[in-house]
Amino acid sequence: MSPSVRLQEMIRVIRGARTQGEERGVIQRECAAIRAQFRQADNGTRSHNLAKLLYVHMLGYPAHFGQMECVRLIASPRYNEKRVGYLGAMMLLDEKQDASLLITNSIKNDLSHSSQYVQSLALCTLGCMGSAEMCRDLAPEIDRLLRASNSYIKKKAALCAVHIVRKVPELGELFTPASRSLLSEKNHGVLHGAVVLITELCERNPETLEQFRKAVPELVQIMKGLVMSGYSPEHNVAGISDPFLQVRILRLLRILGRNNETASDAVNDLLAQVATNTDSSKTAGSAVLYETVLTVMDIKSESGLRVLAVNILGRFLLNNDRNIRYISMTSLQKIVQTDHNAVQRHRGTIVDCLKDQDASVKRRALELSLALVSAVNIRSLMKELLLFLSSCPPELRAHTTSGIFNAAERYAPSQRWHIDTILHVLTTAGGDVRDETVPNLIQLITTATELHCYTVHKLYRALIADISVQSLVQVACWCIGEYGDLLLRGECEETEPVQVAEDDVLDALETVLQSHMSSPATRGFALTATMKLSTRITHNVDRIRSIVSIYGSCIDVELQQRAVEYNALFKKYDHMRAAVLERMPVIDKSSPGHTNGESAGGSIKEMEPTKRTQEVVLPQEPANQVCDLLDLLGGSGEPPQPSPALSTTALGPVSSTAGGDLLDLLGGLDAPLDHVTRPGKTLGPNYRLFMTFVSHSYPPQSVQLQMKAPSGDVIPAHGLGQVTQTVLLNNPNKVSLKMRVRVCYTSQDFVCQDTVQIDSFPSPAW
């Protein structure tokens, strides 16, 4: 009887056990027998006993006493014993066990064994559980095997080298030369191993990466061979020749082409070829296409290729196979930041995937939808998201609510929409929202001053419908307390009027106070709201007084303290009650990232009301006294066009009077003050700031002023240029001059103004 039947017999017996206890008994007996056998001398059954032990170990029972047996079996000269011994070593020993060091010598000997199958056992074990010391010891051996052996051993040595490099990265340099030469092998197994090894080396060492960039043409050749080759029965999977190798080569090309123009250029053609020629009807082809898309997006590929890649992902999105839809959404998530518009085109399909049955697909669709929210699509997308929220699986709810809130904060088209959205979320999934939602919502409500009436009506209706959602109840109580007078007034422009009596409101708040569902924080809100109403209602103040005094003896300390203080407010400090409980001012939002239309440009200084002289717009002078200034739109020497409708004017002559130089001027004048307005020219994206010049100068009344054209009408940002505008002043009375200059300009579509006062002119001015 062949001894291995005994193993199968044991397995049969164990499986036949009807209860856990019975099984444990059988196993204990067997383990005892095995231990006894191990202590005996060699009797030819050692390997079978170890195999039995390994089975027991897989069932979850302790098997550490087999470790030494593994070591002994590995050292045995017999192949079958070695085989089981090595298997045992991989299952029972790992680098943390001391016994693992004992097999180092055996492995070393077996690496030079005459039989390749023994060598392969040693390589396999080393590559599976070799510790750092073992790797250091045996690395030269592995290098030797990489160079001079048959392909069966070479492929195993390559992956063993990968393990060594992962454990001891410094040894990577040892394997670099050998791995380069492996690329010329024909055997696919060896080639695959070589590509994996090179990938590992390049990922860990940037210099090696540089070196291997020179191998890109060779890799491209290999890949082309695979793609264009005919049918090979050995490697064909669903029409693709060796998809495993293809995917690994694409991954290596990705690493080599990243951030490098030359390498990326070299693979552009190949990627286009693979993308178009690969048949993606089966998983194997889709896997290759997927890897191609990842590579295209990661390297510096040309834009046509990128478009092709995004289109492939779009095609995947429409695939019937769920796996492929999932994959496509994962990839789109990675590129949504960089190629936002391309992904936006597929928004419809992505939103449809929100309704998929599968939880993984739903999650991906949610992430992607949240990433695609923009100011343009916020309304329609939010509708879909809210619909999704009502039916979404519980593990995704918290994420959905926080995503919705973020999107609403960034892109809300109006405050009313924002408030409505938050209220909708609170009613649908109020239990899953973040803690800061309540204060955030309250802050939002206070800023939307026109909507106070609408908000409080809406919240009141929600409150009387359902008091179980704590966050909603808290906000509702706060609002009713704060804006109760608006509620009681009855009319509201934005919603249908409803008559609410004071008693109804107090009833609602009392229900919240007394309900078991209300948390202590919520009851605190309700009590404070009740108190606030005492200054906002007219008839039922006594009722409030009684509620407050009841809670003065409440068990909850917080409530009790509040009630006692409010009581005191009624009794001793009644004169202060109105002041204490009056409407709160708008709360300042201090959190960063709040936008909605804040200007990105510089600060806008406020215009102080100044004592200014009127702007004097005098009629134009006749044409023959044109100045050579004022080429508004570039053409000099043009006659001035007297038309008040136009925004350009002409200047009068410059007559010289006494008055000398003021600010670099050329004498006085009696020309009219002119008012120069120019439309700003929009320049390209290089300029951040562009200005329209409107300069007003306000000198004292007796002085006359002539403004010349500015030297340009756009000032580039960051102080890269300047514009000069000359002003001529006629000061016949020689008064001391003060001037206030106002500059109006447009910066990125916001009109700004700046005022400068010039008090001191150079003394020869008058």
Neighbouring residues of 135: CB distance < 8 A, sequence distance ≥ 6: 126, 163, 164, 167, 168, 171
Shortest Cβ distance from residue 713 to another protein (Å)?
53
Q: Which is nearer to another protein, 365 or 709 (CB)?
A: 365
522: left (phi over 0), alpha (psi -120 to 50) or beta: alpha
3 state SS of 677 = coil
Contact at 8 Å (CB) between 446 and 584?
A: yes
Q: Which stretch binds another protein (CB under 8 A): 228-236, 415-423, 528-536, 552-560?
A: 228-236
Among the listed residues 192, 418, 452, 696, the single contact to another protein using CB under 8 A: 192
Among the listed residues 61, 79, 761, 766, the single contact to another protein using CB under 8 A: 79
Shortest Cβ distance from residue 273 to another protein (Å)?
19
- The answer to the question of residue 417 lying near another protein (CB under 8 A) is no
**Neighbour count for residue 113 (Cβ, 10 Å):** 16
Residues 511-530, mask of contacts with another protein (x by CB under 8 A): --------------------
Q: How far apart are CA 215 and CA 18, in angstroms?
A: 62
Q: Which is nearer to another protein, 247 or 456 (CB)?
A: 247
Burial label for 268, CB within 10 Å (0-12, 13-18, 19+), is middle
Among the listed residues 55, 405, 460, 478, the single contact to another protein using CB under 8 A: 55
- Least Cα distance to 404 among 377, 361, 366, 440 occurs for 366
Q: Which stretch binds another protein (CB under 8 A): 119-127, 172-180, 489-497, 708-716?
A: 119-127
Among the listed residues 6, 78, 213, 424, the single contact to another protein using CB under 8 A: 78
What angle do helix axes 104-111 and 132-147 make, rounded to 10 degrees? Answer: 0
Shortest Cβ distance from residue 286 to another protein (Å)?
5
Among the listed residues 72, 101, 137, 244, the single contact to another protein using CB under 8 A: 244
Shortest Cβ distance from residue 80 to another protein (Å)?
5
Contact at 8 Å (CB) between 70 and 100?
A: no
Q: Identify any residues that bridge with 753 across adjacent strands, giving them in sequence order.
A: 744
- The answer to the question of residue 368 lying near another protein (CB under 8 A) is no
Neighbouring residues of 709: CB distance < 8 A, sequence distance ≥ 6: 629, 630, 631, 632, 676, 725
Shortest Cβ distance from residue 373 to another protein (Å)?
22
- The answer to the question of residue 117 lying near another protein (CB under 8 A) is yes
Shortest Cβ distance from residue 190 to another protein (Å)?
10
Residues 697-736, mask of contacts with another protein (x by CB under 8 A): ----------------------------------------
Q: Identify any residues that bridge with 241 across adjacent strands, giving them in sequence order.
A: 236
Contacts of another protein in 5-24 (CB under 8 A): 8, 11, 15
Backbone angles phi, psi at 704, to 5 degrees: -105, 155
Burial label for 412, CB within 10 Å (0-12, 13-18, 19+), is buried
- Least Cα distance to 47 among 87, 99, 96, 100 occurs for 87
CA 98, chain centre distance (Å): 45
- The answer to the question of residue 89 lying near another protein (CB under 8 A) is no
Q: How far apart are CA 660 and CA 587, in angstroms?
A: 58
- The answer to the question of residue 189 lying near another protein (CB under 8 A) is yes
Contact at 8 Å (CB) between 44 and 2?
A: no
Shortest Cβ distance from residue 128 to another protein (Å)?
6
Q: Identify any residues that bridge with 740 across adjacent strands, giving them in sequence order.
A: 698, 757
- The answer to the question of residue 504 lying near another protein (CB under 8 A) is no
Among the listed residues 188, 457, 562, 696, the single contact to another protein using CB under 8 A: 188
Among the listed residues 25, 32, 94, 733, the single contact to another protein using CB under 8 A: 94
Q: Which is nearer to another protein, 362 or 536 (CB)?
A: 362
- The answer to the question of residue 251 lying near another protein (CB under 8 A) is yes
Q: Which is nearer to another protein, 216 or 284 (CB)?
A: 284
Q: How far apart are CA 533 and CA 518, in angstroms?
A: 20
Q: What's the DSSP call for residue 467?
A: -
Shortest Cβ distance from residue 386 to another protein (Å)?
25
Q: How far apart are CA 54 and CA 84, in angstroms?
A: 9
Q: How far apart are CA 14 and CA 28, in angstroms?
A: 11
Q: Identify any residues that bridge with 729 across adjacent strands, giving them in sequence order.
A: 705
- CA 275, 280, 284, 289 dihedral sign is positive
Residue carrying the six token digits 């000398």: 660
- The answer to the question of residue 51 lying near another protein (CB under 8 A) is yes
| Distance set, CA 120 to CA 82, 125, 152, 694 (Å) | 11, 9, 8, 85
Q: How far apart are CA 70 and CA 49, in angstroms?
A: 11
Shortest Cβ distance from residue 719 to another protein (Å)?
45
Shortest Cβ distance from residue 688 to another protein (Å)?
38
- The answer to the question of residue 163 lying near another protein (CB under 8 A) is yes
- The answer to the question of residue 150 lying near another protein (CB under 8 A) is no
Residue carrying the six token digits 């060594």: 164
Among the listed residues 40, 115, 596, 636, the single contact to another protein using CB under 8 A: 115
- The answer to the question of residue 202 lying near another protein (CB under 8 A) is no
Q: How far apart are CA 709 and CA 677, in angstroms?
A: 10
Shortest Cβ distance from residue 320 to another protein (Å)?
11
Contacts of another protein in 278-297 (CB under 8 A): 283-284, 286-287, 290-291
Residues 321-360, mask of contacts with another protein (x by CB under 8 A): -xxxxxx-----------------------------xxxx
Shortest Cβ distance from residue 24 to another protein (Å)?
15
Percentage helix, strand, coil for the chain under 3-state DSSP, each rounded to 5: 60, 5, 35
Binding site for another protein (CB under 8 A): 2, 8, 11, 15, 44, 51, 54-55, 58-60, 78-80, 83-84, 87, 94-96, 115, 117, 120, 123-124, 127-129, 152, 155-156, 159-160, 162-163, 166, 188-189, 192-193, 196, 233-235, 237, 242-245, 247-248, 251, 283-284, 286-287, 290-291, 322-327, 357-361, 363
